[in-house]
Structure 1
Amino acid sequence: MVKPTERRVGYGVALGYGITDLFGGGAFAIISTWLLFFYTTYCGLTVLEAGSIFAVARIIDAILSPVMGYITDNFGNTWLGRKFGRRRFFLLISSPLMFLYALLWLTDMGYWYYLGTYLSIELLSAMVLVPWETLAAEMTNRYEERSRLSGVRMICSQLGGFLAVSVPGVIMHFTGKDNPFTYTLTGLIFSLIFCIAVFITWRVTWEAKDVPQESDFKVESQRSSGMMNHLKYLVLDLFSAFRIRAFRLHIIIYIFSFTAMDVFGSVFTYYVVYCLSQDAAAVSGWLSIAAFASVPGTYGFMLLLNKLHFTPSAALRLSYGCIFVVLAFLFTVYYTETQVPAMLFSAVFILLGAARSGLYYIPWNIYSFIPDIDEMVTQQRREGIFAGVMVLTRKSTVAMAIMLIGVVLEESGFVKGSGAQPENALNAIIGLMIFATAALLAVSFFTTYKFKLTRDTHKLLLKEIARRKLGGDYRDCDNTTRTVIKQLTGYEYDQVWGGDATRRVAGEVSLSSAK
């Protein structure tokens, strides 16, 4: 019988897996681009009230995503988990619930309605994205196939982003530019798309029904049952993820770069409408160009990593550099009040879309290899915990960015519903979209120089894990592999695989030394 991780992952399977990122990418692209504008323009909410919805959601989500990761890591011990899968079960039950997304986009319902509907989407996204994120690491351990899964899912994410900014623009041609029904119909259409996408992923993916390693039995035997104990282990596992050096660096790169794009996306509508005196249809048009360019852009970055053997860090720096050029261009256009030809503007947004695709694709490609690094330290497979942290930080970047933008605009004297804004508000819009975005990207840019995960270092890591599972002696490890493991885990070789680091990182659970 073929083991789950030995099944081949072709482009058909990769597409079936990745299509769920129409929800992961599309839903939050719509939220980051349109929801704040929708709340303040058509729902009667002030900028501060709208921002508070995202703030409350962050508090709730600080619990939801890590809890979901812990549940999926342990759900295989239940009857439902054994029958339907510890990860895929949640995809099956979430598919019909996608129609909750349409409820976000109703007008004149009151503050508490909008808070409740947004919280329901946070819960739904945790139920879908956390278990789904783990599947790439479970379905295969081959570098090329995981990169394929990550690449195709990001193409689907970019397609979702393209639909998110273009569909409202198309609908505006029929409903009018200032008709709130545009957004209501958009929400209904995307709810149907998300429902079908999640169901397809449930049908075509599989899980690694791993035979527990000896070390796993030792961990479980020393973990007590009971609600309070499970909560304790959840907190320990959550914080222990940050003891892995590669994951700490990865989270810095991920949080700062994605937050930069959230800030850019949220303020761009205001930049076009108030700074360039264009209408919302222009926003849809330019962002549609960028989103469309992201699809071949993602494939291009896949080729850079898999065919031209760029390191993830080098490819990320290429992406960030192009975005810096775009920001400089947009600032120059506003500051000099230059009339730019439509063709040049389109070319700039093609560059933005292609560069942004690398920013999105590469961190999620890197993520699928983090559990391998963690296994070298803990002797456990903890995909759920890392997925929980990743989803938590991703959704946090969207909501925190929108909340802070709301506060800044409110303090700058922004007037909701006004066709013109005071000078202070315009300066705040430029400061957020250009300088705040650039500063956040700069943090990620310099962090990439410390990040050492590559195709070659991952291959050495897997080889050493396989050797130790077969009973290899720790003293037989060569110096090159010892150096790589120190760079990736942050620990000396003698501390991992049953050493001191294993006891600290694996939830402070005492394990017998494997040495």
Structure 2
Amino acid sequence: MMSQRNHRQDVLPPLSWKAKLGYSTFSLSYVMQTMIGTWQLFYFTTFLSIPVAATTALIAAGKIIASVIGPVWGYLSDRMYATRIGRRIGRRRSIMLIAVPLNALFYAIMWIPGLPVAAYFTSSLLYWVFLAGLTTIQYGLPSEMTEDSSQRAQLVGINQIAGAIGSTFLSLLNVYLFTLWGKDAWTSYFKMAMIYGAIGVGVLVVGFFTIKERPYDESTDVSEADGGTTGDKLPIWQRIVSMIWNFVSVMRVREFRNYLGLYLSEQCFRAIRGTINTYFVIFVLLLDPQTVSLATGVNTMFGIACLTFFMWLTAKVGGPRAYRIGGFEVIGVFLSLFVLAMFSSQLSSGAKAVAFIVLGLFMNFGITGVVNATQYTYTFIPDVDEIITSKRREGQYASVNATIDDIFAAVETVLIGWVLQATGFIEGAQAQPSGTVTAIAVMYCLAPIMLCLLGIFFTYRLKLNKENHGLLLTEIARLREGGSMADVTDETRALVESLTGMPYEQCWGHNNVINALHKAA
């Protein structure tokens, strides 16, 4: 059995550092998304004079569209080996050829002043549409590029380091550019956005040539499981039904449902913090925009140092326990920030700036652990799917992951806009009513605490650890080599059923998870 497993892993040779760094370019390219997440709401309401409710609705609509289109990207990318271009350059690279240039185009349009609101609305929608294609690829690549859990951990860590470097670069460069160009003119934000757009496209081009993909084989011939054969095109109506079915059916996988609880809690509390971070600093703590960029840069650099520790800790104690350690630390920091907000008027600007930066250091320590644990846990999910379907569908799970995230992010954005509007938020003002200031402080500090507690709850439901993952891969290798399902050991049967939520006999393609018309065993 061990020789079978080694043979299985030989299909994907050890990753070179070139390939690992190639994967990191996706996170480096998110300087574009960080620019949007940090400054779009402020830029639109302050310089374009678009009402805050309309701006948040515009942003939310883009995320909703991305959530709808996400499953399409995942479905198509998994099946691109059925096309000539997919066989020639890879099923994931084929999607990049489409998504990278168009994502960059609509990103640029969003920062051009003087356009009709409809133009901003359309460009925002299409930006999120093509970003969904890139996000789908990024989420799926760690499982796509290797089956070795240690190398997956390295990919997850490198991904976080690259994201941190990108955020640090953006934040610290912003401080310099604000000093050079000023913080009160729209041109400053426009020129910064164009710089980061060029950087984002450049690193993605590097990634295109350096990432690794699974070769075409029986496991990556997902089209065959749809009911046809490679090259046999299904009618469009049947494709649409299949996309919807594939999206819904993955929810039957027990371990994936548990993971989603972990992931959504983490994503939502970080999204709330990111969306109103600028407002919290400017309107609650009464500090200037440079403090936002300086604090983000310093804290992110500290997060890079913390990552080395959490890469070791997560590998040692597992994703769920590492999540709890980081999560409880994050809760303590949010409580401290709420206290700082309540006593803000009694402190000098210098004291508040120092306190905010110091608390941010501790915040990044916890967030680094939470994110690392969540991403590491996710890399095991496509392997659970393979024992169910006998196919590699990294794109499917990545798209579902991104879709549900976008839905929750859209709801979160609308709720934030509604709360701000209901409490009297004034567009373009240098100060806000006391009710708005209190609402910002509560949303920024207390809502993430509740979400973090929810994520901690789901850590107790996850079953997949490094040892169980090794046993799962061994069983996949045995079946891939033609082993009989009747020869499964009791230990493996119990593990598979606990992870999948299905009887063992209904795994390995003996179900309708991919094809709704397929008869289960």
TM-score (norm 2): 0.91
> The residue matched to 1:503 in structure 2 has which SS?
coil
Q: Distance in 2 between matches of 1:361 and 1:511?
A: 39
Structure 2 equivalent of residue 346 of structure 1 = 357
The gaps in structure 2 that reach 5 residues or longer are: 1-6
Which stretch has the larger CA shift, 388-397 or 226-235? 388-397
Structure 2 equivalent of residue 158 of structure 1 = 164
Contact persistence 1:312–1:453 (CA under 8 A):
no
Contact persistence 2:90–2:213 (CA under 8 A):
yes
Which stretch has the larger CA shift, 333-342 or 450-459? 333-342
Structure 1 equivalent of residue 373 of structure 2 = 362
1:214-258 CA-partner distances (Å, limit 9, x unpaired): 996862445871100000110010111111111111112111211
Q: Percent of counterpart pairs with the same letter?
A: 26
Structure 1 equivalent of residue 3 of structure 2 = none
Aligned partner of 2:43: which letter? F
Matches within 5 A, 1:413-424: 413-424=424-435
Q: Is structure 2 residue 275 aligned with structure 1 residue 266?
A: yes
Q: Is structure 2 residue 304 aligned with structure 1 residue 295?
A: yes
1:120-143 CA-partner distances (Å, limit 9, x unpaired): 211221232223433322221111
> The residue matched to 2:74 in structure 1 has which SS?
helix
Structure 2 equivalent of residue 133 of structure 1 = 139
Q: Distance in 2 between matches of 1:68 and 1:401?
A: 24
Structure 2 equivalent of residue 431 of structure 1 = 442
Q: Distance in 2 between matches of 1:361 and 1:270?
A: 27
Structure 2 equivalent of residue 310 of structure 1 = 317
Residue 90 (structure 1) aligned to one of 95, 99, 119: 95
Contact persistence 2:74–2:399 (CA under 8 A):
yes
Which stretch has the larger CA shift, 164-173 or 258-267? 164-173
Q: Distance in 2 between matches of 1:212 and 1:466?
A: 13
Distance 1:394 1:21, change over 3 A: farther
Q: Distance in 2 between matches of 1:120 and 1:493?
A: 43
Structure 1 equivalent of residue 518 of structure 2 = 510
RMSD of aligned alpha carbons: 2.4
Aligned partner of 2:511: which letter? R
Aligned partner of 1:468: which letter? L
Q: Distance in 1 between matches of 2:228 and 2:122?
A: 40
Q: Distance in 2 between matches of 1:241 and 1:221?
A: 18
Shift of 1:365: 2.4
Shift of 1:397: 4.4
Distance 1:202 1:297, change over 3 A: same
Q: Distance in 1 between matches of 2:362 and 2:220?
A: 51
Structure 2 equivalent of residue 254 of structure 1 = 263
Q: Distance in 1 between matches of 2:223 and 2:417?
A: 50
Q: Distance in 2 between matches of 1:398 and 1:192?
A: 26
Distance 1:476 1:111, change over 3 A: same
Q: Is structure 2 residue 207 aligned with structure 1 residue 196?
A: no
Aligned partner of 2:186: which letter? P
Shift of 1:479: 2.9
Q: Is structure 2 residue 496 aligned with structure 1 residue 485?
A: yes
Structure 2 equivalent of residue 276 of structure 1 = 285
Shift of 1:329: 0.9
Aligned partner of 1:186: which letter? M
Contact persistence 1:88–1:132 (CA under 8 A):
no
Q: Distance in 1 between matches of 2:95 and 2:10?
A: 19
Which stretch has the larger CA shift, 397-406 or 263-272? 397-406
Structure 1 equivalent of residue 186 of structure 2 = 180
Q: Distance in 2 between matches of 1:74 and 1:103?
A: 32
Residue 168 (structure 1) aligned to one of 148, 171, 174: 174
Q: Distance in 2 between matches of 1:399 and 1:107?
A: 24
Which stretch has the larger CA shift, 176-185 or 123-132? 123-132
Aligned partner of 2:237: which letter? M
Q: Distance in 2 between matches of 1:215 and 1:396?
A: 30
Aligned partner of 1:250: which letter? Y
1:132-166 CA-partner distances (Å, limit 9, x unpaired): 43332222111111111121112112222323433
Aligned partner of 1:144: which letter? S
Shift of 1:477: 2.6
Contact persistence 1:412–1:428 (CA under 8 A):
yes
Structure 1 equivalent of residue 481 of structure 2 = 470
Shift of 1:96: 4.0
> The residue matched to 2:432 in structure 1 has which SS?
coil
Shift of 1:36: 0.9
